[in-house]
Amino acid sequence: MEVVLRVKAKQAGLAIEFDSAGTESYHIGDPPDPRSIQHAKLRGYDLSALHARQVHADDFHTFDLILAADELNLHELRRRCPAEHQTRLRLFLDDVALPDPYYGKSDGFEKVLDLVEKQAVLLVSRWSCPN
């Protein structure tokens, strides 16, 4: 999500800071799944600079919006987030979970990229013309 959002925001001329983090600690320092890297590269996205980190308490103060891939992660973010910043938490796809392609076939990564690109365009459009 991070790289796609960054690219789409830059294309729209928006200067927005993006970062990504997980709610669990077991992948800290690891690069993305090689299949993610491969499929993203086919679409022109470079994930080589990404390494996993865990959400930190400062993130709730630093970022205006924190997007979760699914309800499980959103629930964990809500549990950790101070009450005054709860409104910053949302699902990336608004009201549905982003599917996890990890245990599926290669086409799952393509489907996730399709969803991420579509939502990134929508989000950047919203941010370009705030109400």
For residue 129, the one-letter residue type is C
Please state the domain extents for the chain.
2-125
Mean pLDDT of the chain: 95
Tell me what pLDDT residue 104 has: 87
Q: Alpha-carbon distance 77 to 20, whole Å?
A: 13
Q: Which CATH superfamily is domain 2-125 in?
A: Response regulator (3.40.50.2300)
pLDDT digits (tens, 9 = 90+) for 31-68: 999 999 999 999 999 999 999 999 999 999 999 999 99
Contacts of 12 (CB under 8 A, 6+ apart): 124, 125, 127, 128
Q: What is the mean pLDDT of residues 24-30?
A: 94
